[in-house]
Amino acid sequence: MPWRRTLRLAAIGTGAGLLSGLFGVGGGVLIVPLLVLWCGFGTRLATGTSLAAIVVIASVAAAVHGAYGNVHLQEGVLVGIPAVAGVLIGTELQQRITTKAISLIFAAMLAVVAVDLLIPG
């Protein structure tokens, strides 16, 4: 049923937008797993689709945060430009490893971040 898929995609987008506005994350930590689990996307397709969505999410979130005075544009550009090299390397690497390895690496990264956030310090 197409309406169920549309509702799932809308829920994923709403959750990703909420996380982006609240915590400054691009939403990929939510979008990728839910596209795989709820919508049956393959890992690579979910990753690419998530990145396309994040362009829109990040643009709007940056504009709104900018209106509140919460953006240092120069520092953002200084982080963003070298990130392009990371994207190119990461995308090339993703095409060379198995989807199972991608999922395990992603899960490990989320676990490390969760533990780090839970440990005071």
pLDDT, average across residues 53-80? 92
What total of structural domains would you count in the chain?
1
Residues contacting 42, CB < 8 A, separation 6+? 36, 99
Q: From start to end of 40-100, where are the E strands?
A: none
Map tokens 């799932």 to a residue.
8
The model's confidence at residue 67, banded by pLDDT at 50, 70 and 90, is very high
Domain boundaries, position 104: 2-118
Q: Count CB atoms within 10 A of the CB of residue 30.
A: 20
Instruction: List, in order, residues 6 or more apart from 26 with CB less than 8 Å away.
Output: 16, 20, 54, 57, 58
The chain-wide mean pLDDT, for the chain, equals: 91
pLDDT at 7 over 90: yes
Backbone angles phi, psi at 40, to 5 degrees: 75, 20
Average pLDDT over residues 49-75: 92
pLDDT digits (tens, 9 = 90+) for 17-42: 888 888 877 678 889 999 999 999 99
Write the CB contacts of 113 (distance below 8 Å, at least 6 apart in sequence): none
